[in-house]
Amino acid sequence: MVSQHVAGGQLAVEVRNEFEVPATAVLVGTSDTAFGSADVLLGAREGRAVGAGQIAEVKFANSGGGEARVLAGVFEDGSTEGEAQWVNQLLAARQQVYSQLPMALSLLRNGNVQNSSAATVAYWFHQWQDRWMAADPTRTMAVPLTAEMYLERAGDKPATAPAEDLIKLFEGLSAKLAASKPSL
């Protein structure tokens, strides 16, 4: 760990990759219940791996407790560092996103998208999220939430163009996750 500071109710922790292999994900925490991660495959650092000696920033809710420490890391070659529960936390986040992509792509490729406003298609994603939250109110699903927010920005305009943008984004993400190491 390089440094930590509190800003806006969040703990911002800077960590240095002390390994020769670029890191693709890191999990940092102050306790078993206060932690956060940065995963380049899920958008952190604009998708750039953390090379040897480079620094990554991880932010999470400040619980007011203690010194942050690195709990786990995943590296480009598929190797991992840290206790199994924390490594699994990182891999589970990737798996969760990967498993949401087929449904998102199916909704975006639906023939009705061409005849619908972006706000209507955004609502489809909102309904998907609501159904999951009914079963688990603590669960936020990144893929439908991202699609909903992106489509909402287009409002009553036709959904075709934003849907095509999301299809490209989600297909690229799916390919990256499918090729990631360790494999999902």
Inter-helix orientation angle 118-135/142-154, to 10°: 150
CB 38 within 8 A of CB 12: no
Each residue's pLDDT tens digit, 114-142:
899 999 999 999 999 998 888 888 777 89
- Does residue 44 share a domain with residue 17? yes
88 band by pLDDT with thresholds 50, 70 and 90: very high
Instruction: Determine the pLDDT at residue 5.
Output: 87
For a pLDDT cut of 90, what percent of the chain falls above it?
Answer: 77
Structural domain ending residue among the three candidates 64, 82, 100: 82
Helical segments of the chain, H only: 84-109, 118-135, 142-154, 160-179
| 56 within some domain | yes
Measured in degrees and rounded to the nearest 5, phi and psi for residue 71 equal -95, -30
Average pLDDT over residues 34-51: 93
Domain residue limits at 36: 3-82
Say whether both 107 and 40 belong to one domain. no
Last residue of a domain, one of 82, 113, 131: 82
At 20-38, the pLDDT tens digits run 999 999 999 998 888 999 9
What pTM was estimated for this model as a whole? 0.89
What letter does residue 53 receive in the DSSP assignment?
A: T
Instruction: For residues 32 and 21, give the distance between their C-alpha atoms in angstroms, rounded to a whole number.
Output: 27
- The C-alpha atoms of residue 29 and residue 10 are separated, in whole angstroms, by 12
What DSSP designation does 117 have?
Answer: B
Give 62's pLDDT tier (boundaries 50, 70, 90).
confident
Structural domain total, the chain: 2
- Is residue 87 included in any domain, yes or no? no
